[in-house]
Structure 1
């Protein structure tokens, strides 16, 4: 799965010393320019303040670096070699350090770019232009220090690469067998479902059991108010709901809330509302993992643990249906 371009996505936990972004992609044969931007918000036109604009221009045989603040571009930096070739895979690593961003391409140091925008204001990654992106990964600076533990902790650090298995990344990159259960992806895993229409209802391949994971990638609509993910005991209206995850961007008096609940025999249980952060924005990609454990579901979004929800519906093998509805565009759903 290749994320759509332009890509707009939140940076989990923002930028700080030691945070690293790794981007794998390819410049198609007919393209000549693309840009990677670290921004203080999700807007492209007009553009949010941009701490780093990294712009390979193959026709000009250069890579332009710049910043954008208060509707004005800063001074361009163009020094260095041109490491990108049409049709060839690349890996860009952006490492945030105290005074600058350190950028490498295909394992070789390319340049440093001194901070012009305070790094703690940077919260969004955008990618535009003539490029195909295979994977995006966020590492370093305690990237798992948000309650992610055990197996889920090993998985969320590789969400993008797990969810985007083709085309393959450069040799020596992500190896699925290092983090997944024996016999799991890719050998016997069901094929991903790409770009399903919403509302979307599907059987959960293999049912729910401890260790089962559901990967959901999508983009809330530009004026999104809410969308809902339900794990159900059947595909019909009135079926019991083991996990009701209602993402409310703005619904009545609710703003930026992920509400969780269950419904059995037509009656709703007690709502749960607290979460340490809210990872969803209109027009911004998200990658969600729902993982079943023996006593609870764990949910991670964009490489960060978000919440836990203790099982109220038992046994787990009753849960056989995934339903997604509301103000969201789905790009991929996959069961593991």
Structure 2
């Protein structure tokens, strides 16, 4: 049984920045707000059958020349007679004394869940829910603001988390919870009730993953009589995003098409001034006007299309 099948989905409220699904390697990304004690980084993936090695680097910047310092270098190696992990720190272009950890809990051809838990003096690493190693910092943790993943590994998801999901004062070692996209509550078509309609300041957030061969994706808002007042529709055939009125009138949204197969997305709708403001992946894309009376009559959010959902917040 894989780590994904053993555990429940992680609570969305403890996600510190949007997770990344199926990134193309080499992959380098900013850690929002940098690292500090209590932050965790979770890596879900599979080790290829012919893997030699891969590395996860927690970097101080992302420049190419000069090469940035690496506060924590985590480097599993599979091509030797005894697979192991090398940990090290790169400072001013020079590697320091490496530390070797034998009895690697990762296997070729197997899925894994690695959790990096950053504490005041050291980082702890667990593999598939079991503590594997700890490494004392040689550079200040506050300097780390970039994550880099390289080498022979298939990454399914990268998550940036807060330690708060785990009971305060608990002596249990955090095992992490994978991002699952198979909850029955998130099966499509997905419906969420709006008991009091929509009011100024209310936010709707929809997060998920676009399928490999997508056709379309829609968010519809309906009243008690199941009449649709407005629909946001993404068409992958012509790469267009549009508001659809109850009478079928289409108003195209003049913005770059930000949906991509096998990539994470976040749709945010903000109720304000009798209309809905739209943001996609953090980029504002304008608004549509409905009138406050119509907004108050809405009772259902309905989602359908070629996506897998992992969060719907109303």
Name the TM-score class by shorter chain.
0.5 to 0.7
5 Å matches for 1:268-279? Answer: none
Partner of 1:176: 181
- Partner of residue 50 from structure 2, selected from 27, 30, 33: 30
Partner of 1:3: 23
CA pair 297-50 structure 1, distance change in 2 beyond 3 A: farther
- Partner of residue 108 from structure 1, selected from 126, 130, 141: 130
Distance in 2 (alpha carbons) for counterparts of 1:62 and 1:335: 36
Partner of 1:280: none
Distance in 2 (alpha carbons) for counterparts of 1:213 and 1:22: 32
Q: Mind listing any 5+ residue stretches in structure 2 that lack a counterpart?
A: 1-20, 166-174, 191-207, 223-229, 245-249, 296-305, 310-314
Three-state SS of the structure 1 residue aligned to 2:73 is strand
CA pair 190-132 structure 1, distance change in 2 beyond 3 A: closer
| Displacement after TM superposition at 1:49 (Å) | 1.3
5 Å matches for 1:43-122? Answer: 43=63, 47-60=67-80, 61-122=83-144
Are 2:158 and 1:136 aligned? yes
CA pair 205-288 structure 1, distance change in 2 beyond 3 A: closer
- For the aligned residue pairs, the C-alpha RMSD in angstroms reads 4.3
> Rg larger in 1 or in 2?
2
Partner of 2:268: 291
- Partner of residue 192 from structure 1, selected from 211, 214, 217: 211
Asked if the contact 1:213/1:290 (under 8 Å) is kept, the reply is no
Partner of 2:199: none
| Displacement after TM superposition at 1:93 (Å) | 0.4
Partner of 1:322: none
| Displacement after TM superposition at 1:311 (Å) | 3.1
CA pair 183-2 structure 1, distance change in 2 beyond 3 A: closer
Distance in 2 (alpha carbons) for counterparts of 1:212 and 1:18: 40
- TM-score of the pair, normalised by structure 2: 0.58
Distance in 1 (alpha carbons) for counterparts of 2:164 and 2:285: 24
| Displacement after TM superposition at 1:26 (Å) | 1.2
CA pair 246-120 structure 1, distance change in 2 beyond 3 A: farther
Are 2:39 and 1:19 aligned? yes
Distance in 2 (alpha carbons) for counterparts of 1:289 and 1:77: 40
Partner of 1:311: 287
Distance in 2 (alpha carbons) for counterparts of 1:232 and 1:116: 51
Distance in 2 (alpha carbons) for counterparts of 1:290 and 1:297: 11
Asked if the contact 2:57/2:148 (under 8 Å) is kept, the reply is yes
Partner of 1:205: 217
Cα deviation digits, residues 165-200 of structure 1 (max 9, x gap): xxxxx9973343559556447xxx996256xxxxxx
Relative to its length, the structure with more strand (as a share) is 2
Q: Mind listing any 5+ residue stretches in structure 1 that lack a counterpart?
A: 144-169, 195-201, 216-228, 248-285, 317-332
| Displacement after TM superposition at 1:242 (Å) | 4.8
| Displacement after TM superposition at 1:70 (Å) | 1.3
Give the aligned length: 225
| Displacement after TM superposition at 1:6 (Å) | 0.6
Distance in 2 (alpha carbons) for counterparts of 1:15 and 1:190: 26
- TM-score of the pair, normalised by structure 1: 0.54
Asked if the contact 2:232/2:243 (under 8 Å) is kept, the reply is no
Asked if the contact 1:36/1:54 (under 8 Å) is kept, the reply is yes
| Displacement after TM superposition at 1:15 (Å) | 0.7
